Structure formats: C-alpha cells, structure tokens
Structure 1
Amino acid sequence: MPDYRIVRNGVLLGALTRTGSDMPWWEGDFDPAPGFESIRPLFDRERELLEADADMDAWGRAWDELAVGMVMEPLNGRGPITEFLLHIDGRQASWRY
C-alpha cells in the first residue's frame, strides 16, 4: 500500500511506498504514473549531478527547477508536504522532509 502520491502542477507522477530508512532519509519503492515520463529527464539530471558531487550549485539549480509545483500527498490523511527532497533511480526512491 503506497504511503504518498507525488504530484507536480496537478499531474500525478507516481506513488511512494516506504520500505526502510537511513535517517534522516526514507527509502522505498516508486511506482511511476504515466505523467512521470515527461519529467523523468529532470529526475535523471538531478541524480547525475548529485552523484557527481562536483558542483552542488548546479545540483541546487536542477532541484529547484524540478521541485516547482511538486508536492508529496500523504495517503494517511495528513496535509500535503511542500518542502522535501526526493531522488528517484528507476523504481527506487529516497526522500526526506
């Protein structure tokens, strides 16, 4: 059962299901929705810059572009989360808020 829906500018990107943690990060499975394909290149670029660990300013700009209009919607009835970090690598995800 998913824990969160990820929505960007009203488009469902997918769902996150927690499977563990490496505090302060949560880890889990990402189930992409059809709307994810249009944004996948931005997630790929963000992850590449983060893994390169060369220019954190470039990573920050990439994340800022990606995060515009993005919210995590908890499926337990809590309100939307608007300030968070999310990394997606295939069907795996890590996030913190």
Structure 2
Amino acid sequence: MGNEGDVWQLRRGEELVGEIIVEEGDFPWLSGRFVPTAAFSEVKPLFDRDLALTEGEEWEEWESVVGEINEKLRLVAPAGPVAEFLLHVDGGRAWFRWIDHPVA
C-alpha cells in the first residue's frame, strides 16, 4: 500500500499518547507497532474495553466506546489529523482505519 514506515500519532490535545509505526496495509486497514508514551496509561482502559466489547459482540456499547475514543483523542497521519478513526490497540500492536471527512 505504500504506507509502510509511516508514523501516525495518537494525541490528546497537544499531548502525544502514542505512535503507530505502520508495517502493513490491507485496505482499508493499516497496522503496525504501537509505541505508547506514559500518557497512554490514562486512556488504555478505553482500548481494553474496545477489544472486550468487540470479542463479546456487544456492538451498541462498543459504538459508545469508539465515540468516546474519538472525542478524547485524535489520530494524526503524516499529512495531518484525520476527521474520524477506528483504532484498536492490543499491547504493542495497533490496527486502524480512518476517514478524512466526518460522517454526518
């Protein structure tokens, strides 16, 4: 996909929460190594909950958690912030997709 090696940032305001070093892409998903900062510990429970709800197929509550992640955090591509995103973090791995324009 041509994105290998790109570094995406996860931010809360101006604070860096973590970085994703893209290792592979399978449209529309990108995945790679997740490198958290100390600030990630404060939002990690959201990502743990995201994974648990996905595994349990509890989609209504999962949508709420995804909304909270998008409200509290922003995903920044090498070209700049994206409008909305779906990001999963499991230990040192992350996989995500994004859109440039918000969904109405």
TM-score normalized with structure 1 length: 0.87
Q: Once superposed, what is the RMSD of the aligned Cα atoms?
A: 1.5
How far residue 43 of structure 1 moved from its aligned partner, in angstroms, is: 0.7
Residue in 1 aligned with 2:61?
A: 58
* Structure 1 residue runs without a partner (length 5+): none
> Matched residue of 1:34: which SS?
coil
Name segments (4+ residues, structure 1) moved above 3 Å.
none
Equivalent AA in structure 2 for residue 74 of structure 1:
A
Residue in 2 aligned with 1:9?
A: 13
* Structure 2 residue runs without a partner (length 5+): 99-104
Percent identity over the alignment? Answer: 32
TM-score normalized with structure 2 length: 0.81
Give the length in aligned residue pairs.
Answer: 94
Residue in 1 aligned with 2:80?
A: 79
Say which of 20, 40, 46 aligns to 2:44. Answer: 40
How many Å separate the matches in 1 of 2:22 and 2:83? Answer: 18
Q: 1:32 to 1:65 in 2, by over 3 A?
A: same
Residue in 2 aligned with 1:93?
A: 94
How far residue 16 of structure 1 moved from its aligned partner, in angstroms, is: 0.5
Q: Does 1:23 align with 2:22?
A: no
Equivalent AA in structure 2 for residue 41 of structure 1:
P
How many Å separate the matches in 2 of 1:43 and 1:10? Answer: 20
